[in-house]
């Protein structure tokens, strides 16, 4: 018996892939499925993204790529993250492509040279003469979601540096860059967050024509009424000022319901309910709407509750909320639907 249920709606992923591809004139869409598809399941998301016309899958690590390879033998798979210590025999055997930030380019592997145009993280400061294994040249935006001036500077640097390399696949745009800057589409765009129907801008992804794919549900395990001056949870951060019916829900920060999400809203019995008191490792308390009873479903994400809201309450970005929602055999179950 699982304490919560995570449902991944692959039809929403399909819709989002079509929506993103619709923005692209000639560029390919590459689906970024690192961190187990931002908590949505890399293999299933990757498979339907390819079915809907994505041309490649991107992950952060060789280990993630190897997992994908065994499930998707035909997919083009690019490892974006640090690959300096990768076992090249394994990489070749699995037909992976590597992003590379050093002037020394591994042999016998398709490589995408990374150029640092302002992210200040991975990437070469200057492009090196590309050897025969180089198939692409990439860069990454630091603030495509918030800063159009700096994004324009990065794009201009990139275009200048790569002008002589037009025979290689050129790619720079993430989801925000893809949604906002058609000039940055180039040969391919690398979209992650938008694929999952989550806004890179922290607003409602519906504004971008995207549909959230993850629903997270649990239930009211116990109902109790706090008398005035009684409290719930660690630190007694919620103290009832009048008789207050609360529901205890068996999900906590160990499941990805972050401790600083106290005060966010969920849906119970069709109505919004506030999470009160301190979030525990394995439980939260909610202020119950009048109609709610023990056993009622509690929707933590879904039914209009979006991760962007939880991110706003907890002072983070929806990416971190999504990656944090963990399905583990001992705690929550993840089911995949595709219809
Ligand atoms: C994660 C990542 C992306 C995808 O970013 P989103 O904002 O999720 O679209 C693209 N490129 C690189 C290099 C990344 O690391």
Q: How far is the CA of 57 from the centre of ligand 1 (A)?
A: 11
Query: Which residue has 């180039």 as its token pair?
Result: 186
- 1 contact partners, CB below 8 Å, separation of at least 6: none
* Alpha helix ranges (H) inside 9-81: 10-23, 34-38, 42-51, 62-71
Q: Whose CA is nearest to atom 15 of ligand 1?
A: 80
Which residues are known to be catalytic? 34, 234
Single pTM value for the model: 0.96
Compute CA 312 distance to the chain's CA centroid, rounded to the nearest angstrom: 16
Decide: helix, strand or coil at residue 301.
strand
Q: Which two tokens stand for residue 17?
A: 């892939």
* Residue pair 324/275 in contact by the 8 Å Cβ criterion: no
The rounded distance, in Å, linking the Cα atoms of 269 and 44 is 31
How many angstroms is it from 32 CA to the middle of ligand 1? Answer: 7
The pLDDT tens digits along the chain (339 residues) read 589 999 999 999 999 999 999 999 999 999 999 999 999 999 999 999 999 999 999 999 999 999 999 999 999 999 998 877 889 999 999 999 999 998 888 889 999 999 999 999 988 888 877 788 999 999 999 999 999 999 999 999 999 999 999 899 999 999 999 999 999 999 999 999 999 999 999 899 999 999 999 999 999 999 999 999 999 999 999 999 999 999 999 999 999 999 999 999 999 999 999 999 999 999 999 999 999 999 999 999 999 999 999 999 999 999 999 999 988 777 888 999 998
Residues with CB under 6 A from ligand 1: 32, 34, 80, 140, 174-176, 190-194, 200
**In CATH, 214-337 is 2.60.120.1140:** no
Region of residue 164 (left: phi > 0; alpha: psi -120 to 50; beta: else): alpha
Could you give the angle at the alpha carbon of 269 between the alpha carbons of 268 and 273, nearest 5°? 35
Q: What architecture is domain 10-196?
A: Alpha-Beta Barrel (3.20)
| Domain range summary for the chain, segments of one domain joined by + | 10-196, 214-337
Q: How far, in Å, is the centroid of ligand 1 from the Cα of 190?
A: 6
Q: Print burial letters for 257-269: b (CB count within 10 Å at least 16), e (below 16).
A: bbeebbebbbbbb
Ligand 1 atom at minimal distance to the Cα of residue 174:
9
Beta strands in 139-209 (DSSP E): 169-171, 188-191
CATH topology agreement for domains 10-196 and 214-337:
no
């Amino acid at each position: 018996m699982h304490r919560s249920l995570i449902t991944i709606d692959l039809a929403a992923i399909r819709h989002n892939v079509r929506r993103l591809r619709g923005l692209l004139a000639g560029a390919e869409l590459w689906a970024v499925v690192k961190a187990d598809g931002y908590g949505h399941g890399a293999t299933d998301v990757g498979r339907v993204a390819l079915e809907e016309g994505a041309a490649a899958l991107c992950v952060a690590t060789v280990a993630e790529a190897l997992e994908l390879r065994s499930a998707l033998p035909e997919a083009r798979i690019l490892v974006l993250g640090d690959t300096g210590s990768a076992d090249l025999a394994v990489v070749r055997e699995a037909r992976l492509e590597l992003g590379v930030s050093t002037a020394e380019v591994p042999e016998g592997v398709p490589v995408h040279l990374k150029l640092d145009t302002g992210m200040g993280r991975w990437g070469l400061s200057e492009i090196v003469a590309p050897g025969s294994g180089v198939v692409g040249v990439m860069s990454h935006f630091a603030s495509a979601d918030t800063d159009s001036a700096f994004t324009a500077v990065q794009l201009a640097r990139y275009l200048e540096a790569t002008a002589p390399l037009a025979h290689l696949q050129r790619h720079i745009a993430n989801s925000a860059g893809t949604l906002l800057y058609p000039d940055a589409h180039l040969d391919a765009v690398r979209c992650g967050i938008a694929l999952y129907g989550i806004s890179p801008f922290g607003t409602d992804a519906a504004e971008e024509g995207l549909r959230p794919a993850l629903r997270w549900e649990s239930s009211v395990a116990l109902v109790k009424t706090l008398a005035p001056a009684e409290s719930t949870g660690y630190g007694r951060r919620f103290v009832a000022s009048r008789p207050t019916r609360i529901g205890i829900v068996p999900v906590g920060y160990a499941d990805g319901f972050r401790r600083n999400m106290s005060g966010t809203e969920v849906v119970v019995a069709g109505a919004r309910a506030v999470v009160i008191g301190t979030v525990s490792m394995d439980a939260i308390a909610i202020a119950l709407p009048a109609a709610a009873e023990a056993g009622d479903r509690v929707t933590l994400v879904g039914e209009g509750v979006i991760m962007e809201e939880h991110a706003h309450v907890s002072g983070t970005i929806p990416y971190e909320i999504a990656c944090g929602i963990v399905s583990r055999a001992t705690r929550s179950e993840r089911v995949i639907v595709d219809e």
